[in-house]
Chains A and B, each alone.
Chain A
Amino acid sequence: MEWVDTHLWTIPLMPLLGVLVHIFLGGTLGKKLVGILACLLVFISFGLSVVVLLRLLELPAEERHLLDNFLPWIRVGAFSADWAFRADTLSAVMLLVVTGVGFLIHVYSTGYMHDDPKYIRFFAYLNLFTFSMLVLVLASNVFLMFIGWEGVGLCSYLLIGFWFHDLNNATAGMKAFIVNRVGDWSFLCGVLLLFWSLGKYTGTYTVDFYEINRLAPELPAGIALAVGLLLFGGAAGKSAQIPLYVWLPDAMAGPTPVSALIHAATMVTAGVYMIARFSGLYLSAPDAMMVVATVGALTALFSATIALAQNDIKKVLAYSTVSQLGYMFLGVGVGAFSAGIFHLMTHAFFKGLLFLGAGSVIHGLHGEQDLRRMGALKSKMPWTWLTFMAAWLAIAGFPGLSGFFSKDEILWQAFSSEHGHWALWLVGFIAAGLTAFYMTRLVVMTFYGESRWPEHAHPHESPRNMTVPLAVLAVLCVIGGYVGVPAILHGANYFEHWMEPAVTWAAGHGGAEAAEHAAELGSHGLEALLMAASVGVALLGIGIGWWMYSRRRDIPEAAFQRWPNLYRWVLNKYYVDELYQWLVVDNLLRLTRLSGRFDLAVIDGAVNGSAWLTERVSAISGWIDNTFVDGAVNGVAEVTRAAGGRLRLIQTGRVQQYLTFAAAMVAIGVAGIILWPSIQPWLAELWSGAI
């Protein structure tokens, strides 16, 4: 098992290999092999992650930390940012979630995407996503994490717009990418400010998470707050929090397994993971944590209300995801990092399952996504129904299922933590009731009541390779919560103790200390009361939802009739998209057009003017060249040619003529030699006379 200490890099390597094979050999391998290979490689990564987990379990609790620095990258003086992967208790959880849920969704995709012409490309993207996500969670420094961070963003864009021949899908992909870019800008600013201020105030330039968390308390409070807020801006973009949540519902344009893997289980939780990674930094900036918790709570409530009125099954789940992500931020924002990550894990199970179940329903109804044309699918799709029930009860917070434990832990911490407040608890509490209500509405409208699908639809159960992952996730939904049973229910809260080494820092209380603080603050009686209250609100939500949508359909109808404006507001998501369009997009377009005109008139004018000038100058220089330089050269050539023309006349080809010339020259020469003595004095006289 010690082998894995220096071989952490093999975990992301597997899906990367998959990407290369699919791209370069996919055509030759064929669909079937590509599907098998993609699943197999992710499964190997999962196996390696389990090895990492076992290895960490071997070590004593406070030494559960593997660092594999396998490739130097940036080294300047004392500063270094290397390709180094870190497996501590936090990243081990993320590893298991990413590879485990990822594997199940890969298997599911082999069924769901079976008839798609771009099957091979789909798996190449999916493997690339898994690779990027693994780099993100394993990275030991911020720069490396940023590579994974951007990589998952790219894959998200590629997969949302996977069916890009429909313009809407391509637009949704662009929207996701651009909104994420806003967040990434904030994230990058935060990282650079952090890097600079760490160097300035502590003398250590570093990007390593552990170093940052250790040094963070030495930062001035204002800087720590600014860094915390900027980083949270990045997290809000990636994890779809107010005000940057608008891309996630549109991201449902992608294939459903993508929605399950990227936009529910893994990528969108990267922001929560990032905050937990910077736990030391956030603990030294309590105001930033307050913002995180408040935004998280408001997002949880806000998007839960939108989910009440949506009719697209995937849109409901999307807003539910935004809402649940808000819970996670509420958790990490009140310093309960382990509770946030715990909810992240259980959410990956039940929301992944909900999306896969929804995908199965859509698959069975040949692409129908509208809840108003579903109903009575229980007997038609028994496996989908059964597994969906587990996920529904888990997300609704039904006692004993995974979602109950994690959500309750967050609510209790929101109330009792030193960073918490009763108002935060109240918002989360209301959102929990709404969650139970809209999920019940979804379930009733999909599986119960009268059938509203057309006669010729013939819904059918999905193939085995889709139902088996559903079943596995359903089991996880049911039992996944038992790793974190709180003390009040006579559990050991194993999960919290497990997370402790990764999120406990000198600056404040993380993990168990926060729990102790909570124990001081509130008695067990209070905790039991709050737990009873949240169970009560969950059951109430389920009950009302069930009663209203299966017995008294007239009540929601009457409510819509009574408050049509309110209904329209909620249905249209409070017109936030329109607001952004008007406020940001239109103004940006206006600015772009203005700068386009400036470009045309001034920049292009300058360029064209200088081109015109150059043209004139070169015309003159060309004329000089033609007339004088070429004239001289041609003149010489002409003279030579004329002389040659004359001289060629004596080259007649007649040998006798040549000989005649030769003889004549000899005769003249001989005559000259003979006559020279008599000519010479005469010539000399002539010469001197001339001078």
Chain B
Amino acid sequence: MIPATHILAVGAALFCLGLFALLSRRNAVAVFMGIELMLNAANLNFVAFNQARPEALDGQVAAVFVIMLAAAEFAVALALILSLHQMFHCVHLDEADEMKG
């Protein structure tokens, strides 16, 4: 049995990696990959905390729910990326700075 702290450490590392990808990548697809990493880091936490109450299963159900949500979110994200490409003919986020003050 792997102790929960190890899993939480992996999850935190994974979250930080995802956050770094989110903040640093120019390519929108890579940014979404970062988001996926962060979601899955959260999943790891859910699963890890489920160890405290193995009979309840609610942590695992939440993890499945998040996976499902990630799939739906990615569909929306792809649509956004496509319309981004239509407008700016590339998928670099720093090009899309129309909201500059």
CA distance A660 to B20 in the complex (A): 9
Q: Do residues A656 and B93 form an inter-chain contact, with CB atoms below 8 A? A: yes
Q: Contacts A659-B22, A659-B23, A663-B23; is A651 near B101 (CB within 8 Å)?
A: yes
CA distance A489 to B94 in the complex (A): 131
> Which chain A residues lie closer than 8 Å to B96 at the CB level?
653, 655
> Which chain A residues lie closer than 8 Å to B97 at the CB level?
652-654
Query: Within 8 Å of chain A (Cβ to Cβ): is B55?
Result: no
**Total A-B contacts with CB atoms under 8 angstroms apart:** 31
> Which chain B residues lie closer than 8 Å to A659 at the CB level?
22-23
Query: Within 8 Å of chain A (Cβ to Cβ): is B100?
Result: yes
Interface string of B76-92 (1 = CB under 8 A from A): 00000000000000000
Interface string of A631-673 (1 = CB under 8 A from B): 0000000000000000110111111100110010000000000
Q: Do residues B19 and A663 form an inter-chain contact, with CB atoms below 8 A? A: yes
Q: For residue B93, give the distance in angstroms from its CB to the closest CB of chain A.
A: 6
CA distance A663 to B96 in the complex (A): 21
CA distance A642 to B23 in the complex (A): 30
CA distance A652 to B98 in the complex (A): 9
Q: Do residues A656 and B101 form an inter-chain contact, with CB atoms below 8 A? A: no
CA distance A647 to B100 in the complex (A): 12
Interface size on A, residues (CB 8 A): 12
Residue of A nearest to B26 (CB): A656
CA distance A663 to B93 in the complex (A): 18
Q: B100: which of A653, A656, A660, A663 is its contact (CB, 8 Å)?
A: A653
Q: Do residues A652 and B100 form an inter-chain contact, with CB atoms below 8 A? A: yes
Q: A651: which of B22, B94, B100 is its contact (CB, 8 Å)?
A: B100
Q: For residue A651, give the distance in angstroms from its CB to the closest CB of chain B.
A: 3
Q: B99: which of A650, A653, A660 is its contact (CB, 8 Å)?
A: A653
Q: Do residues A660 and B23 form an inter-chain contact, with CB atoms below 8 A? A: yes
- Output the residue of A647, A651, A656, A663 with the most chain B CB within 10 A: A656
Interface string of A494-520 (1 = CB under 8 A from B): 000000000000000000000000000
CA distance A647 to B31 in the complex (A): 27
Which residues of chain B in 22-59 are interfacial with respect to chain A, using CB atoms and an 8 Å cutoff? 22-24, 31
Residue of B nearest to A664 (CB): B23
CA distance A181 to B52 in the complex (A): 120
Residue of A nearest to B101 (CB): A651
Residue of A nearest to B100 (CB): A653
Q: Do residues B100 and A655 form an inter-chain contact, with CB atoms below 8 A? A: no
> Which chain B residues lie closer than 8 Å to A653 at the CB level?
96-101
CA distance A192 to B96 in the complex (A): 94
> Which chain A residues lie closer than 8 Å to B98 at the CB level?
653
Q: B101: which of A648, A655, A660, A663 is its contact (CB, 8 Å)?
A: A648
> Which chain B residues lie closer than 8 Å to A654 at the CB level?
93-94, 97
- Which A residues contact B (CB, under 8 angstroms)? 647-648, 650-656, 659-660, 663
What are the nearest 4 A-B pairs in CB distance? Answer: A651-B101, A653-B100, A653-B97, A648-B101
